[in-house]
Amino acid sequence: MSARVLGIELRRSVALLAGAVIVAAGLAVAFMMFQKDTSLGQWTAYAGLMRYLLEILCPLAIGAGAWQGRRERRSGMTELTATVSRPAWQRVLPVSGAMAITVVVGYAVVFVAGVVQVAGNTTYQHLGWLPIPLVGALALIASGWLGLGIGTLLPSAITAPVLVAGSLMGLIALRVLVGGKAALLSPELGGVLSDHFVAPAPRVTIAQVIWFAALAVTGIVLATGIGRRRLFALLPVALGLAVALPLLPATREATYVADPGAAEPVCTADLPRVCVGKAHANALQPLVGPAREALRLLAPLPGAPTSVAENTRDTYMTSQVKPQPSDVLLVSLPTYWLDNRSRLSMTEEEALSELLLGAGTTPCVRYHEDPNPAELEQYRRELDARHLAAGLLLGKPLRTFGSEDKAMWPALQALSPEEKHRRLGALRTAGLSCSGDLMEILTGSGAR
């Protein structure tokens, strides 16, 4: 492809405008929605956030491509270009190349706008996040080229706006209504990347590369094909789906893999040892005080922990880390506990309360997005018991007590120290292995 002709297309086609729109829309949305997002504290999370942005930027790229696609018809150039010798697939290279360059540069500009912030915020510098924006860039290119193809096929003035609106609604529907593995056919990666200790599974990256590449090829075939040859455009889409769908994982958990670099422990030099994941190194110092106080309060209990470590496997407590080792007090630091720089955004007292939940055990009842009433009741009961246990250890009710907790608190508070100790010990033992109903154990109705 001639650099001179590419330059002409960069200057004169819709490409430059497309890039500018990507920059403007991207920065506007990022500024309005993500300015305070804790994802700005970690590379992988930030890259995931920028993928979320594509739910808006990809439809815009499709629209820009569609507008460009009708240029030949709009300019009355179809007659002249029908008589030139350069093959159609070569003819589309400069305009598609210009489109690819500008949307990727636009996306890069939006991405770079947050880079300085992330680089300054995080203690975990790495390049493992790079595939995330690269796949995002491929999704943008595919969108632009798909729009180009459709715009060439249907060179109407309404094609572009209809495609923008349609693709925007389609992508939202894919995420909200369809879900499952099909949702991963969208450029967005899902909110779980805000968990600082995971990265997209390689199979997800591979599947998305295949899918978006197939869409891009489809766009080019549509843009270059004439008449029935355009039917060949269905081939790459079908092939992309046939390969990508089986590769995509069926469950949300399988969409992500642990990031061992982020979870690498960063610990205090002195004892008792307190550790956090490398990604949360900034949270270590503020955590040390409450963590050691929690160890002191738990020390009288049987099988008391002797160190504190961040639970990097289960930040959002959506799955059990069981059986839980008794000598380590595991603490989760979800992003809502943290600020942009991954420092604790809660008071020491709040942190101590969290550390003492369930007498220093992690939850047993798994919480998921759509629980049935029985599951919800089970979850609530365990949560109440965990809070009451923390209150008993602190000797005062927690601010986070619910109405059930408040109702039970006077009776529990009135127990003798020995009985409190016995019940808390029993609750901790049960909590470590998830055996028994914590509320029954705490209230005495099922205490052993």
Q: What are the residues binding other proteins (CB under 8 A)? A: 2, 4-5, 8, 11-12, 71, 75-87, 91
User: Rounded to the nearest whole angstrom, what is the least distance from the CB of residue 81 to other proteins in the complex?
Assistant: 7
Q: Which is nearer to other proteins, 75 or 125 (CB)?
A: 75
User: Rounded to the nearest whole angstrom, what is the least distance from the CB of residue 104 to other proteins in the complex?
Assistant: 22
Q: Which is nearer to other proteins, 5 or 257 (CB)?
A: 5
Q: Which is nearer to other proteins, 78 or 433 (CB)?
A: 78
User: Rounded to the nearest whole angstrom, what is the least distance from the CB of residue 218 to other proteins in the complex?
Assistant: 24
Does residue 344 sit in helix, strand or coil?
Answer: strand
Question: What are the phi and psi torsion angles at 157 (to 5°)?
Answer: -65, -25
User: Rounded to the nearest whole angstrom, what is the least distance from the CB of residue 181 to other proteins in the complex?
Assistant: 43
Question: What are the phi and psi torsion angles at 437 (to 5°)?
Answer: -90, 115
Q: Which is nearer to other proteins, 214 or 223 (CB)?
A: 223
User: Rounded to the nearest whole angstrom, what is the least distance from the CB of residue 11 to other proteins in the complex?
Assistant: 8
Rounded to whole angstroms, how far apart are CA atoms 62 and 47?
22
Q: Residue 275 corresponds to which tokens in the numbers above?
A: 């550790």
Q: Which is nearer to other proteins, 36 or 86 (CB)?
A: 86
User: Rounded to the nearest whole angstrom, what is the least distance from the CB of residue 96 to other proteins in the complex?
Assistant: 15
Length of the chain as a residue count: 448
DSSP states of 239-289: HHHHHHHHHS-SSSGGGEEE-HHHH-EEE-SSSSPEEEEGGGGGGHHHHHH
Q: What is the largest CA-CA distance in the chain?
A: 97
Rounded to whole angstroms, how far apart are CA atoms 235 and 224?
15
Does residue 156 sit in helix, strand or coil?
Answer: coil
Rounded to whole angstroms, how far apart are CA atoms 197 and 318?
14
**Are the C-beta atoms of residues 186 and 194 closer than 8 Å to each other?**
no
Q: Which is nearer to other proteins, 152 or 194 (CB)?
A: 152
